[in-house]
Amino acid sequence: MKRVDDFRLKFGKRELVPIVIGGMGVDISTAELALEAARLGGIGHISDALIHDVSDRRFDTEFVKTKTKFYKANIDNSDKSIIKFDLDRLAEATKLHVGRTMEAKRGEGMVFVNCMEKLTMNSPRDTLQVRLNSALDAGIDGITLSAGLHLGSFGLMAEHPRFHDAKLGIIVSSVRALQLFLRKNARLNRLPDFVVIEGPLAGGHLGFGLDWAKYDLATIVAEVAAYLKAEQLDIPLIAAGGIFTGGDAVSFLELGAAGVQVATRFTVASECGLPGKVQQEYFKASEEDIIVNTVSPTGYPMRMLRNTPAIGSGIRPNCEAYGYLLDGAGHCAYITAYNEQLALHPDGKNISVVDKTCLCTHMRNYNCWTCGSSTYRLKDTTLRLPDGSYMPLSAEHIFHDYQFSLGQQIALPEVVPTEGVPA
């Protein structure tokens, strides 16, 4: 029987442990988590979602405060179209978050940044161009383009001196999406260095409709692999979504995937950005608690825990501070849904917006508990402490469990001896 460590993810001559920790915004996949993956020889992701806020928290900058102050007069205005991001500040925040992470990198692995194209920031093209090029400037090893069709995104980096040296990849959920991308980018003469195929069991936004349960990752991976073979294209495929054990990962590596991208298991790592209390909610969840709904203003279905505080919250849109989901015309589906409720409750009290949620504020405050379909199994990966809570795990422990465990085995953590009791 094989284990993940019998395989390697190859980028040219470079060989890595074929485990990628997926990007989890907003700062759920922290720099600390990504750096652990790199130290252990795999690939970790940071995310550039709400990058100004992440920078403020990491480096005591005042990007959010300054922007809020600048647009203060607009706070009670339901028209958010004047709110723009200062592109120089966006570059500065990106360079700080990415640059400091890369300076701290140790080991043989890599750190990539996850860039969600749906963060349209009231100027989709310009802001994405700055995000991508600033990350390259700051020395990121690679960029994973997610939550979008990625059709013009490679073009936005084509003039950058690192365009051919950084590892650039895309996330797709169907062979058709990959075909579209390749057709559209043919003139650039630059293939993606990797393609993440994300199936319907993943956390975060899904690249499927509400009929997601009809699809299955293994089938899509096999379809994409067959297509690439027919086209004689040698692009590493990385399978993602619902891969919970080393044995699950091996089954995809044997199917022809070059690596696996995993996230849910790491939501309960000590290095993960989720507060300890929220991690306990993930541990406690039962299968019935995990739902897919349409509350995300992006238009993509999203998986989350049923008791997520964000669902039904009626907070005022906070675009003066954030505004990452404003489309090119200054609209966000949450603002529309909020205004409908405000019209029914003009005093502004007791507003509950059920259709949509303010993803910026709730993700920022760790109140939108997005998760993968296998979250209910997290309780089986650790020990229970005397107070009934579950013990968070180190990222290294989880990484090594994927890398070295055989079949469906899951290694439990060592019991930490209580103070004063001899080990």
If the CB atoms of residues 235 and 314 are measured against ligand FMN, the closer one turns out to be: 235
Q: Which residues bind ligand FMN (CB under 6 A)?
A: 22-25, 28, 47, 49, 114, 116, 146-147, 171, 198, 201-204, 240-243, 261-264, 267, 370-372, 374
- The upper half-sphere exposure of residue 130, i.e. CA atoms within 13 Å in the direction of its Cβ, equals 19
- The upper half-sphere exposure of residue 415, i.e. CA atoms within 13 Å in the direction of its Cβ, equals 9
If the CB atoms of residues 9 and 240 are measured against ligand FMN, the closer one turns out to be: 240
Q: Which residues, in sequence order, are CB contacts of 242 under 8 Å at separation 6+? A: 199, 201, 202, 217, 248, 372, 373, 374
- Rounded to the nearest whole angstrom, what is the least distance from the CB of residue 329 to ligand FMN in the complex? 24
Vertex 133: Cα angle to 131 and 136 (nearest 5): 110
Name the burial class of residue 418, with classes exposed (0-12), middle (13-18) and buried (19+) by CB atoms within 10 angstroms of its CB: exposed
Secondary structure E strands in 188-301: 194-198, 204-205, 237-240, 259-262, 290-293
- Rounded to the nearest whole angstrom, what is the least distance from the CB of residue 421 to ligand FMN in the complex? 35
- Rounded to the nearest whole angstrom, what is the least distance from the CB of residue 5 to ligand FMN in the complex? 19
If the CB atoms of residues 204 and 301 are measured against ligand FMN, the closer one turns out to be: 204
Using DSSP's 3-state secondary structure scheme, residue 374 falls into: coil
If the CB atoms of residues 258 and 314 are measured against ligand FMN, the closer one turns out to be: 258
- Rounded to the nearest whole angstrom, what is the least distance from the CB of residue 386 to ligand FMN in the complex? 28
Contact 119, 126 (CB under 8 A): no
Contact 202, 372 (CB under 8 A): yes
- Rounded to the nearest whole angstrom, what is the least distance from the CB of residue 205 to ligand FMN in the complex? 7
- CA 260/CA 18 separation, integer angstroms: 6
- Rounded to the nearest whole angstrom, what is the least distance from the CB of residue 214 to ligand FMN in the complex? 18
If the CB atoms of residues 241 and 297 are measured against ligand FMN, the closer one turns out to be: 241
- Rounded to the nearest whole angstrom, what is the least distance from the CB of residue 6 to ligand FMN in the complex? 21
- Rounded to the nearest whole angstrom, what is the least distance from the CB of residue 8 to ligand FMN in the complex? 20
- CA 330/CA 325 separation, integer angstroms: 9
If the CB atoms of residues 36 and 314 are measured against ligand FMN, the closer one turns out to be: 36
If the CB atoms of residues 273 and 314 are measured against ligand FMN, the closer one turns out to be: 273
If the CB atoms of residues 241 and 317 are measured against ligand FMN, the closer one turns out to be: 241
Q: Which residues pair with 21 in a beta bridge?
A: 262
Task: Tell which residue, 367, 402, 394, has the closest CA to residue 41.
Answer: 402
Contact 206, 300 (CB under 8 A): yes
Joined tokens for residue 422: 């001899």
- Rounded to the nearest whole angstrom, what is the least distance from the CB of residue 374 to ligand FMN in the complex? 6
If the CB atoms of residues 156 and 342 are measured against ligand FMN, the closer one turns out to be: 156
Task: Tell me, rounded to whole angstroms, the distance of Cα 21 from its chain centroid.
Answer: 9
Omega cis (within 30) before 250:
no
